[in-house]
Amino acid sequence: MAATTPAVRRLETLGIHFEILRHPFDGSQDELGLHAATALGIQPGALFKTLMITADRHPACAVLPVDRRLSMKALARHLGARRAALFPREGLLRQTGYNIGGISPIAQRRPCPVLFDASILSLTRICINGGKRGIVLRLAPQDALVATSGSTSHICIG
């Protein structure tokens, strides 16, 4: 059965080559990304999580390796904001069109700036959420940047 999500449809529309990977979603896990990396046999540095944030109350999307932590200061600085914070949980579906645990940076309902950690530039393939819990998309980093109109910066702590 094919996974049809807005993210998959966007990649197909753009003619971008990608693979769909599936894993059992376990919402009881503390570290969902690390659990998914283990289930898929992927190095944690190549599997990227999507965090929705607000920068001076404007939505933005941060995409970083599942084994790293986001630097709100670095993110705010890159976006030209004074302050950044996590996006309120209750507004995530309305903003992105995706459920928690299945938020993709691709084809969100309400477009916003997408910022990938610069570590994607050292990889040949990355894995990101496909828009549904348990669905991961593997694609070239440059294709992810094209599909999201994203940019890169060093946004991780350390």
Q: Which residue has 């209750």 as its token pair?
A: 90
Using a cut of 0.85, tell me whether the model's pTM lies above it.
Answer: yes
The pLDDT of residue 101 is 86
Residue 26 has pLDDT above 60, yes or no: yes
What is the average pLDDT across 40-47?
89
User: Counting beta carbons within 10 angstroms of the beta carbon of residue 94, is it exposed (0 to 12), middle (13 to 18) or buried (19 or more)?
Assistant: exposed
Where do the domains of the chain lie, and which CATH numbers do they carry? 18-153 (3.90.960.10)
Measured distance CA(40)–CA(77) in Å, rounded = 34
Which amino acid is it at 54?
A: T
The pLDDT of residue 41 is 85
Mean pLDDT, the chain, as a whole number? 91
* pLDDT band at 1; cut points 50, 70, 90: very low
* pLDDT band at 36; cut points 50, 70, 90: confident
Measured distance CA(47)–CA(116) in Å, rounded = 12
Centroid of chain to Cα 48: 6
The pLDDT of residue 118 is 97
Provide CB contacts within 8 A for 63, sequence distance 6+: 48, 49, 50, 51, 105, 114, 115, 116, 117, 120, 128, 144, 148, 150
Provide CB contacts within 8 A for 13, sequence distance 6+: none
The pLDDT of residue 97 is 96
Nearest Cα neighbor of 54 from 23, 92, 28, 94 is: 92
Contact 70, 62 (CB under 8 A): yes
pLDDT per residue as tens digits for the range 136-147: 999 999 999 999
